[in-house]
Amino acid sequence: MMARPAHAQKENSMHAYESLVRKKDGQPVRYLIVDDSVFARKTLQRMVEMFGGRVAGEAADGRAAIEAYHQLQPDVVLMDVTMPDLEGIEAAEQIINRDPQARIVMVSSVGYQDNISRALQKGALYFVQKPAKPEVLYEVIQRVLGAEVAAAPPTGEEASRDEN
């Protein structure tokens, strides 16, 4: 299901999205957030938590992302392009070479057409321009996970917060 239309939303931070859960076990979707900016990681963390997700781990560069991915086996990786040590596109390629089923979404302000094309050629499934809008990221995550994810209505606490 999609997020409510914009006219039904208050502020994004107050909007209750339907929680995305894995169909196989009913558990929240697990994310690895990779960005050299602590602010960007925390912003993405707040968004995935709005979607009912859990942050399995964080990394500040591509090398740490590769290690964290193989250790944590998240459902989705949200990865920046420009980072120290090893850039996101190269890290995505290395992750996908070891696990072709990895679901990587590039989230970057460096949205040049060549970066987008390279990221998609190397195996990233989507490219989301920063600053990421929650409704766009929510839709992308639903598409990336497809039939493996179900949307559940917000819990009572989230629903009451949305009505206020």
Q: Does position 132 have pLDDT exceeding 50, yes or no?
A: yes
Structure tokens, 65: 């992302």
Selected from 3.30.465.10, 3.40.250.10, 1.10.3210.50, 3.40.50.2300, the CATH number assigned to the domain covering 29-147 reads 3.40.50.2300
Sequence spans of domains, the chain? 29-147
Q: Which residue has 């040590």 as its token pair?
A: 85
pLDDT per residue as tens digits for the range 76-120 = 999 999 998 899 999 999 999 999 999 999 999 876 788 889 999
Q: What is the pTM of this model?
A: 0.84
The percent of residues in the chain predicted with pLDDT above 70, rounded, is: 83
Nearest CA among 121, 146, 137 for reference residue 47:
137
Location of structure tokens 């909007």: 15
